[in-house]
């Protein structure tokens, strides 16, 4: 695709899927704006991006408030000269039994996974709408379609992401802004490892045994690789997906239908 002067903003870019997405776009020649709250990990991924010879911008930000989300987008536009693609990847997880979910934990999950995503989308869409359009890809989860009593806050937050994606696709279509989501399967990321330790403890199982059983339950029988999920996200940002909007792309090995 013609990527000259194209700018991609990736939230949660320092680790896991976000890092894989940032590197995948960089290999295609896009300028990359990497946003994350972890300053040390953010510096490391920026060095990787710069080694690929692309223009980069890094923003350390907590996106859980509307003001911070807006400031991050404005800084990216100012430093890189525009914004063509937003990948709303930043997120957090919570593992608590349904009857033990605390207000603090619920608010934390929704502040990042829903509030931060919405207001980052809003700020990016305002820019894109006045500059010929763009692509927005939100990261959701198979959890939003599954009954997970120990993962309720996270699953509910991703159901909200699904709803925001559909609403934004309708609202922004006339401005040539396509909005879609991607639901990745179980990946060996830092967040996945943390959640599986918690799940295993609640199940009274050793972590290795629990992970093996959980992996076998996936219809395709294996875990997702961040790089293969990243390639699908790059596709959604490209010309082949120009008539795709309001959709959810499941890259989960069939997990959400088990």
Q: Would you state the structure tokens that stand for residue 172, as one six-digit string?
A: 């922004």
Beta strand pairing status for 134-139 and 177-184?
Answer: parallel
Output phi, psi for 84, to 5 deg. Answer: -110, -30
Q: What is the DSSP string of 186-250?
A: -B-SHHHHHHHHHHHHHHT--HHHHHHHHHHTSTTSSPBPHHHHHHHHHHHTSGGGTT--S-EEE
Q: Report the C-alpha gap between 172 and 175 in whole angstroms.
A: 5
- Is residue 165 scored above 60 in pLDDT? yes
- The pLDDT assigned to 2 comes to 63
- The pLDDT assigned to 158 comes to 98
| Domains of the chain by residue range | 7-185+225-251, 188-223
Least Cα distance to 141 among 121, 120, 152, 155 occurs for 155
- The pLDDT assigned to 255 comes to 86
CATH code of the domain occupying 7-185+225-251:
3.40.50.720
- Is residue 258 scored above 80 in pLDDT? no
Going by pLDDT thresholds of 50, 70 and 90, the confidence category of residue 4 is low
Q: Catalytic annotation on 154? A: yes
Q: Report the C-alpha gap between 199 and 213 in whole angstroms.
A: 12
Q: Report the C-alpha gap between 101 and 200 in whole angstroms.
A: 18
Q: What is the pTM of this model?
A: 0.95
Set 30, 154, 199, 210: catalytic member: 154
């Amino acid at each position: 695709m013609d990527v000259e002067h194209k700018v991609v903003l990736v939230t949660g870019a320092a680790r896991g899927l976000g890092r894989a997405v940032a590197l995948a776009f960089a290999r295609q020649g896009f300028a990359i704006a990497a946003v994350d709250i972890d300053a040390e990990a953010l510096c490391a991924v920026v060095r990787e991006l710069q080694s690929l010879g692309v223009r980069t911008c890094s923003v350390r930000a907590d996106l859980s408030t509307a003001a911070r989300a807006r400031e991050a987008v404005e800084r990216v536009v100012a430093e890189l000269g525009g914004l063509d693609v937003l990948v709303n990847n930043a997120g957090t997880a919570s593992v608590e039994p349904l009857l033990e979910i605390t207000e603090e934990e619920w608010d934390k999950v929704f502040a990042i996974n829903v509030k931060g995503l919405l207001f980052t989308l809003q700020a990016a869409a305002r820019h894109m709408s006045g500059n010929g359009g763009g692509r927005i890809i939100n990261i959701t989860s198979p959890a939003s379609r599954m009954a997970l009593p120990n993962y309720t806050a996270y699953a509910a937050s991703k159901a909200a992401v699904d709803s925001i994606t559909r609403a934004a696709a309708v609202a922004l279509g006339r401005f040539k802004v396509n909005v879609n989501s991607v639901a990745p399967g179980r990946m060996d990321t830092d967040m996945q490892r943390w959640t599986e330790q918690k799940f295993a403890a609640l199940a009274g199982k050793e972590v290795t045994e629990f992970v093996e059983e959980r992996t076998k339950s996936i219809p395709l029988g294996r875990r997702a690789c961040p790089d293969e999920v990243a390639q699908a996200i790059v596709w959604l940002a490209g010309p082949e997906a120009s008539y795709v909007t309001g959709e959810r792309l499941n890259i989960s090995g069939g997990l959400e239908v088990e």
